[in-house]
A and B are shown apart, each in its own frame.
Chain A
Amino acid sequence: MKKSGSIIFRIIWVIILASSCTKEIHIPIPPIESKPVINCFFTPDSIFTLYVGKPVPIYDDEPRVLDHANVYLFEEQKCVDTLRYSEGLYFSSYVAKAEKSYDVKVQCPGFDTVFAQDMTPSPPEKLTGFFRDDVFRNEDGDPVSQVNLNIQDDPNENNFYELLLKITYRDPFDSAWHRNVEVGYAENNPDPVLENEGLIPYDPSTILFSDELFNGTRYTLTINYHGPYYVNNGETVNYSYFLVVFFRAVSKEYYLYKKQLIKHLYNQDSDIFDGMGNPVQMYSNVQGGYGIFAGYVERRDTIPRKNN
């Protein structure tokens, strides 16, 4: 309903905008500080894949990849590998291990040497729970599905998590399989943990949260989402589908970066409806540079349906 009102108001605005105009302008911008950019998410049993680049002025589109850097990898402060460059990325031959600390040092001519450090977190426990369809109707009258996930949190440390709901279903009309389709999250998500994170309004593609409100306990996370359905003779009928949860334990650095990134991307665009937005600076754990070097551990669990 909110959306419907907004859409009509937007139509009025579009009429106004049709009589207005845009023009290209140029605002002189001082040179940006040239600092290396490092991007890497690493996970146990995988090699390190690292991007090294540089920032460019907002108006320019010059190449960004730095292909002549020396990239050193450290495990528990011991150098274990030097990454090799290939097709825009740097690759290690060394495989990350669980619950280990890693450092990366990047030297590139013309730039200061930069460092970053993080670790691979403890693997998450298996998720249990169930999902239900058509739990309630939202303001537009659409059915909303709900999944309840039991999370066992480790009391000995602050933990951070990320999860993604994907469904696989067979279309009853054309019998085609649709695999690993991401679901949309409902605007109304009353779970206190999700409320506390405050990320749902930014249309995130994943659910990111910390154990701040349930440290060391078994917590049931409730997520409202839009499952697939069709309308038959005026009745909504949910498809039969499998729900798979991709569940990550992530490091604090990963969590801080992703959380900021979700807000950053949401606010990049200006438009008449949201004005100039509310710009958000990016988070970085790269000393002397931009980007992120962070670890995670992923598992996937299939969640059963519980009939209403």
Chain B
Amino acid sequence: MFNRKTILTGFLFIPLWVNAKHVTISGYVQDAETDERLIGANIVEIFSRNGTITNNYGYYNLAVPEKDSAKIRVSYIGYSTILRTISAKKDQKIDFQLTPGDSLAEVTVIGTRTRPIEQRNEMSVVSVPVKQMETLPALGGEPDLMKVMQLMPGVQSGNEGSSGLYVRGGGPDQNLILLDDVPLYYVNHLGGFVSIFNTDAISATKLIKGGFPASYGGRLSSILDVRMKEGNMKKFQGSGMIGLVASKVAVEGPLKKGRSSYLVSYRRFLYDLITMPISKLASNGYGFGYHFYDLNAKINHKFSDKDRLFLSIYSGDDQILAKMKLKTIDDKEESKMSNKWGNRLLALRWNHLYNRRLFSNLTLAYTRYRFNMEYSGSFGGKQDKHEYYSRFISGIYDANGKIDFEYYAGRNYKLKFGANGIYHIFRPGITSFRQSGSNMAPVDTSYGSFDLHSLEYAAYVDNEITMGPRLRMDLGFRFLLYQVEKKTYFSPEPRILFNYLITDNMALKASYAIMQQNVHLLSGTGAGLPVDLWMPATSIAEPERSCQTALGIARSLFQGSVEFSVEGYYKRMKNLIAYKEGINSLWGTTNWENKIETGGMGESYGIEFLVQKKTGRTTGWIGYTLSRTTRQFDNINFGEAYPYKYDRRHDISVVWMYKLKKNIDLSATWVFGTGNAFTMAEGKFSAINDNPHDPPPFVFNTEAYIYSDRNAYRMRPYHRLDVGVNFHKNKKWGERTWNISIYNVYNRQNPYFYFFDTKYEYDKHGRIIQGSGKNVLKQQSLFPIIPSVSYKFKF
């Protein structure tokens, strides 16, 4: 009989068998023009049909039968396929260089695609190449990673224009957003209409909605893994764009050819350069402006074939700035108000290849999100000058250390294991105030909530096992330990994924995952000043947990050019938080735990369909989701479960891309979704609202509403068509692209929110008829049809 220890050991470390009749080839797959390593490139041995994909650092290890020769095919979207015959008598290291090829070539080049979906040992994973993102129409002409992800089944967008991701019934705080392996907390600009990800600096993205590998953890609903470009190792090159939303420029090149490279990319919203001087002129010295920026930088250095170092930097902020300057003969008055919020990230990573079978990556990182408001000024003459300064700051600061190993044991087994530690400092909100001047006592004070510290440790092991020609498994286990306020929480998190090939091109997939989240997000419900306040899980607001099960079928059609998948999922969440009834935001963060409901439950289930055409002149996908998501809190809706605000019964997205000519591509997206849930006032009555000192008889004309159950009503359905066209042209100095996009082509007035208004009747003189006022419901829409144009260049 097996005892528990044996079973656990067996589960964690499946016997490391190595088939003696196989040899391994290993190495890196790189872009031939830039030496950029390609993530997720497909390597297949044609005769045996053994295959693998490169890891997040472009490394692969493939077992092939030992014989005189083997035929290796290496492919990646947007690149010409390599077909090479090699000797397969002994283990060897081979680096492959893929040459970029335009998508038209993909029609004729066999296999210029990713590994077939049924063979990929993953489920609930979506990935869109950056080149495709740049082809799609975008609001204001600015391609946006988050908005492209919203076009995938199981992913909702929340409100119109928002970059938030609502994955399988989860909230935007339940997504772990990684930039070069490091979590980012705030991913929006412009109140959520633009994400912080500048496509010029991105090489690959992947969104995981379920079936989470054990190497990931810390959020309930999804992992968005974004990788920055490494920089061209061979030659200097650059790109840029002038658009309506933002303009940007990126340069990259070798620091030492073939050994080290750099990438610097900068994007900025430019309107404040216009509004600041104009408003100063128009309002007698008072100027204001808003802008955002993103700075991405990366340096990578190859010490040897076995060691590589990456330094990644990201800095981004939104800023509102107002300045006032008045001067008279005697007096001078100046004031400045600045609100800034954004992330900063610094990550140092070291790849090391111990031998062909063992690969590791060490990450040391610092990341910070902070919301900062400053107000300063002075007034008075030389003799009686007064100065003042006030600052409010809230934020989260993380020091992060992580080590990941990949051990390629053989044809049938790959082991991943590692550990992660994060030290969080949460600063809920501190205000400092100083003032000084003649005839007054100086003031220098600070007040607010104290910093909170927490520690998060995790260790994981992930076994990728192939059993026979048809069954692949990923058996993983993650153990999380979280310490806060002298209390420790443990979280054992099993992760299981099965991929069974029913036929040669169809697979049955199933997954199970438990996740824990040790941070809570409190943000406003509307589009006011976009403040995200991150708080630690505490003994009152305990860590959130989820358990997700998914079952699906995936198959390739038409020789792999079309992929089809159906997935059903069921997810339960607990320890969720929500604002208490009547609270919309958390200004003044003292006692924040008193302002929220804790211990909430969430339930989400649905079925997702995705048909995706990946090659040919026409590419794109059609996604459909049928789902239901609820929340339940003891003190909301009388304790009854109610629909989540972004519960969307039906969600459809159609994405179409067409290569009309070599230099012209067209694209269109159409989305449809059930309207957001909301609580409707169904009736009204007169209420009493006197104040002390109001003499009787009291006033009874306060209007009170009788509301429906929470979120019992639906707004009108949301739908929208966007189209875009790109005109490319080669120039002496490089390539330029004109992009013309039209957002909301048929000018659909989609609901943003509803409100009540009074409608009057008028007499023939245009005067209001007394007593004719009638309550009517109105819909506020946000974006009408918006054409935009942008100009891009590459050299």
Stretch at the interface among B34-42, B508-516, B776-784: B776-784
- Across the interface, which residues of A come within 8 angstroms of B762, CB to CB? none
Residues from 653 to 681 in B contacting A, C-beta threshold 8 Å: 678-681
Q: Are B526 and A58 in contact (CB under 8 A)?
A: no
CB distance from A288 to the nearest CB of B (A): 14
Complex Cα spacing A105 to B280, Å: 66
Q: Are A162 and B679 in contact (CB under 8 A)?
A: no
Q: Are B697 and A89 in contact (CB under 8 A)?
A: yes
Q: Are A9 and B685 in contact (CB under 8 A)?
A: no
Question: Does A217 make an interface contact (CB < 8 A)?
Answer: no
Complex Cα spacing A94 to B389, Å: 60
Q: Contacts A25-B754, A166-B693, A206-B692 hold; do A56 and B781 have CB atoms under 8 A apart?
A: no
Complex Cα spacing A172 to B191, Å: 45
Number of interface residues of B (CB under 8 A): 97
Q: Contacts A1-B392, A278-B525 hold; do A290 and B685 have CB atoms under 8 A apart?
A: yes
Q: Are B779 and A6 in contact (CB under 8 A)?
A: no
CB distance from B751 to the nearest CB of A (A): 8
Q: Contacts A27-B713, A27-B777 hold; do A58 and B431 have CB atoms under 8 A apart?
A: no
- Across the interface, which residues of B come within 8 angstroms of A307, CB to CB? none
Question: Does B451 make an interface contact (CB < 8 A)?
Answer: no
Question: Does B320 make an interface contact (CB < 8 A)?
Answer: yes
Select from chain A the residue with minimum beta-carbon distance to B590.
Answer: A195
Q: Are B704 and A264 in contact (CB under 8 A)?
A: yes
Stretch at the interface among A33-41, A67-75, A150-158: A33-41
Select from chain A the residue with minimum beta-carbon distance to B690.
Answer: A41
The range of chain A's interface size is 35 or more
Question: Does A238 make an interface contact (CB < 8 A)?
Answer: no
- Across the interface, which residues of A come within 8 angstroms of B579, CB to CB? 278
CB distance from B508 to the nearest CB of A (A): 42
Q: Which of B159, B374, B384, B755 is the one whose CB lies under 8 Å from A270?
A: B755
Q: Which of B388, B392, B696 is the one whose CB lies under 8 Å from A137?
A: B388
Complex Cα spacing A36 to B525, Å: 34
- Across the interface, which residues of B come within 8 angstroms of A300, CB to CB? 693
Q: Which of A11, A21, A56, A290 is the one whose CB lies under 8 Å from B784?
A: A21
Q: Contacts A8-B322, A57-B682, A64-B685 hold; do A196 and B704 have CB atoms under 8 A apart?
A: no
Complex Cα spacing A270 to B526, Å: 9
Q: Which of B374, B386, B588, B776 is the one whose CB lies under 8 Å from A187?
A: B588
Question: Does B84 make an interface contact (CB < 8 A)?
Answer: no
CB distance from A182 to the nearest CB of B (A): 8
Q: Are B373 and A2 in contact (CB under 8 A)?
A: yes
Question: Does A268 make an interface contact (CB < 8 A)?
Answer: yes
Q: Are A23 and B433 in contact (CB under 8 A)?
A: no
- Across the interface, which residues of A come within 8 angstroms of B445, CB to CB? 136
- Across the interface, which residues of A come within 8 angstroms of B696, CB to CB? 41, 43, 46-47, 49
Question: Does A275 make an interface contact (CB < 8 A)?
Answer: yes
CB 8 Å contact bits of B519-533 with A (1 = contact, 0 = none): 000001111111000
CB 8 Å contact bits of B680-702 with A (1 = contact, 0 = none): 11111111111111001110101
Question: Does B490 make an interface contact (CB < 8 A)?
Answer: no
CB distance from A32 to the nearest CB of B (A): 4
Question: Does A60 make an interface contact (CB < 8 A)?
Answer: yes
Complex Cα spacing A48 to B703, Å: 22
Q: Are A32 and B375 in contact (CB under 8 A)?
A: no
Q: Are A139 and B375 in contact (CB under 8 A)?
A: yes
Question: Does B729 make an interface contact (CB < 8 A)?
Answer: no
Q: Are B682 and A32 in contact (CB under 8 A)?
A: yes
Stretch at the interface among A12-20, A76-84, A107-115, A125-133: A12-20
Complex Cα spacing A162 to B374, Å: 36
Q: Contacts A61-B773, A278-B525 hold; do A201 and B290 have CB atoms under 8 A apart?
A: no
Residues from 328 to 346 in B contacting A, C-beta threshold 8 Å: 331, 337, 339
Question: Does A221 make an interface contact (CB < 8 A)?
Answer: no
Q: Contacts A27-B680, A140-B375, A248-B692 hold; do A279 and B778 have CB atoms under 8 A apart?
A: no
Complex Cα spacing A185 to B374, Å: 23
Q: Are A270 and B753 in contact (CB under 8 A)?
A: yes
CB distance from B742 to the nearest CB of A (A): 15
Q: Are A41 and B688 in contact (CB under 8 A)?
A: yes
Complex Cα spacing A302 to B300, Å: 73
- Across the interface, which residues of A come within 8 angstroms of B337, CB to CB? 1, 4-5, 8
Q: Contacts A2-B392, A46-B696 hold; do A20 and B753 have CB atoms under 8 A apart?
A: no
CB distance from B97 to the nearest CB of A (A): 48
Question: Does A175 make an interface contact (CB < 8 A)?
Answer: no
- Across the interface, which residues of B come within 8 angstroms of A272, CB to CB? 526-527, 752-753, 780
Residue from B388, B585, B707 having most chain A Cβ neighbours under 10 A = B707
Select from chain B the residue with minimum beta-carbon distance to A12.
Answer: B290
Residues from 179 to 236 in A contacting B, C-beta threshold 8 Å: 180, 187-188, 190, 195-196, 198, 201-202, 205-206, 233-235
Q: Are B752 and A37 in contact (CB under 8 A)?
A: no
CB 8 Å contact bits of A264-308 with B (1 = contact, 0 = none): 111111111111111111100000001110000010100000000
Q: Are B691 and A164 in contact (CB under 8 A)?
A: yes
Q: Which of B439, B581, B752, B775 is the one whose CB lies under 8 Å from A278?
A: B581
- Across the interface, which residues of A come within 8 angstroms of B685, CB to CB? 37, 53-56, 64, 290-291
Q: Are B439 and A235 in contact (CB under 8 A)?
A: yes
CB distance from B683 to the nearest CB of A (A): 4
CB 8 Å contact bits of B465-485 with A (1 = contact, 0 = none): 000000000000000000000
Question: Does B15 make an interface contact (CB < 8 A)?
Answer: no
Q: Are B688 and A235 in contact (CB under 8 A)?
A: no
Q: Contacts A29-B682, A49-B698, A278-B584 hold; do A233 and B778 have CB atoms under 8 A apart?
A: no
- Across the interface, which residues of A come within 8 angstroms of B781, CB to CB? 20-23
CB 8 Å contact bits of B325-366 with A (1 = contact, 0 = none): 000000100000101000000000000000000000000000
Question: Does B561 make an interface contact (CB < 8 A)?
Answer: no
Q: Are B684 and A49 in contact (CB under 8 A)?
A: no
Question: Does B766 make an interface contact (CB < 8 A)?
Answer: no
Q: Are B681 and A274 in contact (CB under 8 A)?
A: no
Complex Cα spacing A268 to B437, Å: 44
Q: Are B191 and A59 in contact (CB under 8 A)?
A: no
Complex Cα spacing A136 to B439, Å: 16
Question: Does A24 make an interface contact (CB < 8 A)?
Answer: yes
- Across the interface, which residues of B come within 8 angstroms of A263, CB to CB? 581-582
Q: Which of A39, A139, A267, A273 is the one whose CB lies under 8 Å from B528?
A: A273
Select from chain B the residue with minimum beta-carbon distance to A296.
Answer: B692
- Across the interface, which residues of B come within 8 angstroms of A56, CB to CB? 683-685
Residues from 524 to 548 in B contacting A, C-beta threshold 8 Å: 524-530
Q: Contacts A23-B749, A264-B705 hold; do A5 and B339 have CB atoms under 8 A apart?
A: yes
Q: Which of B379, B706, B773 is the one whose CB lies under 8 Å from A32?
A: B706
CB distance from A67 to the nearest CB of B (A): 14
Q: Are A137 and B779 in contact (CB under 8 A)?
A: no
- Across the interface, which residues of A come within 8 angstroms of B686, CB to CB? 37, 39, 51, 53, 64
Question: Does B235 make an interface contact (CB < 8 A)?
Answer: no
Question: Does B49 make an interface contact (CB < 8 A)?
Answer: no
Question: Does A261 make an interface contact (CB < 8 A)?
Answer: yes
Q: Are B777 and A292 in contact (CB under 8 A)?
A: no
- Across the interface, which residues of A come within 8 angstroms of B752, CB to CB? 20, 272
CB distance from A24 to the nearest CB of B (A): 5
Pairs A-B, 6 closest by C-beta atoms: A275-B526, A263-B582, A246-B692, A32-B683, A273-B528, A5-B339
Q: List 24 A-B contacts (CB under 8 A).
A: A1-B374, A2-B587, A4-B322, A9-B290, A9-B528, A12-B191, A12-B290, A13-B527, A24-B777, A25-B754, A39-B698, A41-B690, A46-B696, A58-B756, A61-B774, A139-B375, A139-B390, A139-B431, A164-B693, A246-B691, A269-B755, A270-B754, A277-B584, A278-B584
- With A20-B782, A24-B777, A61-B775 given, name 19 new contacts (CB 8 A): A2-B587, A11-B288, A16-B782, A22-B778, A25-B779, A27-B713, A30-B682, A40-B688, A51-B700, A58-B680, A58-B775, A59-B776, A139-B375, A141-B435, A234-B386, A273-B526, A273-B527, A277-B525, A279-B679
